[in-house]
Amino acid sequence: MEPIRNVALLGKGWLGSAILEQLVNTGFQITVLSRTARSVDEPPSSLKTVQVDYSSIDSLVAVLRGQDAVVSTVGTSGISVQKTVIDASIQAGVRRFIPSDFGALTTRPGAETLPLNALWIYIQKYLKEKALSGQIEYTLFAVGPFLEFVMSMPFSTDPQTQTAPVYDNGAHTFSSTSVSSIAKAVAGALKNATETKNRLVSVHNIVLTQNKVLSLAKKYSRPDVKWIENPVDAATELERILENTKQSGLDLFKTLALLKAALLGGKFEAEFKILDNDLVGVRLLSDNEFEEIFATAFKPGQMIAQEDLQANVEGI
């Protein structure tokens, strides 16, 4: 099988930028697709930026001809648009498609019915159907919540208010991966195209529990800060939130509450038991290394703007 050389990248936010850097450093020829004309300051010879109309399959096909793979990192508002991009990729002869699917629970068994996963599951199913008929290949990733978000936003703990709803005594384990390691996994999967064809690639930097994160939050808070812990029955809380969403739909804060109850409650196998770290070049962090990173990233009492919270929740 011929190696993948030419890669088109959709989306250039935080994760997209990290993936772009890693793809360039790994030696791929990159075309960044953008809705608007953009210039890149002193771009390397392996990188070009092309303006494209995502709603036009003809525009997409013209840009994607000659590409071996497409990597999508579009945000929530662009998830459904990927169906058109997949169709265009097939018409253009693209070999591999990696969808924007780097959520904490979108690939976990049993979590397919969670309302916050609906858009991602739709794209997964569509892509797998096309792969089954031999029209295109895919790679999906299980990465857990972004490590940066676990440390800095009101997820397992709330640094702003020094509170923590503790789900089932905080003992359930979950995998977590940094943005830079996710970028390495994407580049590594494309380098090892045969081994990562039409399957889920599972990676993490570390396995955490809510108790471990809370313990470090206490350790690196000011001496006068007293953390408030509120015990929560995860199964009851998850059922309550799901019933609430049936009545009034999902908003930002319900999405975060649902995600926390689902991930920290231990129902959906949030710790990955079988890993592809060695295959794609992602290293594990020791507890001491994680603590060093946590000590630098953790900022108790810092206000989080709603737009930043929205971006973080989308990333998770």
3-state secondary structure the chain: CCCCCEEEEECCCHHHHHHHHHHHHHCCEEEEEECCCCCCCCCCCCEEEEECCCCCHHHHHHHHCCCCEEEECCCHHHCCCHHHHHHHHHHHCCCEEECCCCCCCCCCCCHHHCHHHHHHHHHHHHHHHHHHCCCCEEEEEECCCEHHHHHHCECCEECCCCEEEEEHHHCCEEEEECHHHHHHHHHHHHHCCCCCCCEEEECCCEEEEHHHHHHHHHHCCCCCCCCEEEEECHHHHHHHHHHHHHHHCCCHHHHHHHHHHHHHCCCCCCCCCCCCHHHHCCCCCCHHHHHHHHHHHCCCCCCCCHHHHHHHHHHC
| Domain covering 6-144+177-202 in this structure, CATH number | 3.40.50.720
The CATH number of 147-176+205-271+283-315 is 3.90.25
Domain boundaries defined on the chain: 6-144+177-202, 147-176+205-271+283-315
- Identical fold between 6-144+177-202 and 147-176+205-271+283-315: no
Quick count: other Cβ atoms within 10 Å of Cβ 307?
9
Specify the pLDDT at position 307. 43
pLDDT at position 154: 61
pLDDT by position in tens, the chain (length 316) = 799 999 999 988 899 999 999 999 999 999 999 877 654 444 566 689 998 998 899 999 999 999 999 999 998 889 999 999 999 999 999 999 999 999 889 999 999 999 989 999 999 999 999 999 999 999 999 999 999 988 876 666 777 778 888 999 999 999 999 999 999 999 999 999 999 999 999 999 999 999 999 999 889 988 888 888 999 999 999 999 999 888 777 777 788 889 889 999 999 999 999 999 999 999 999 999 999 999 988 876 544 444 443 444 444 4
Helix axes 252-264, 306-315, angle to 10 degrees: 40
CB 314 within 8 A of CB 74: no
Predicted pLDDT at 43 = 55
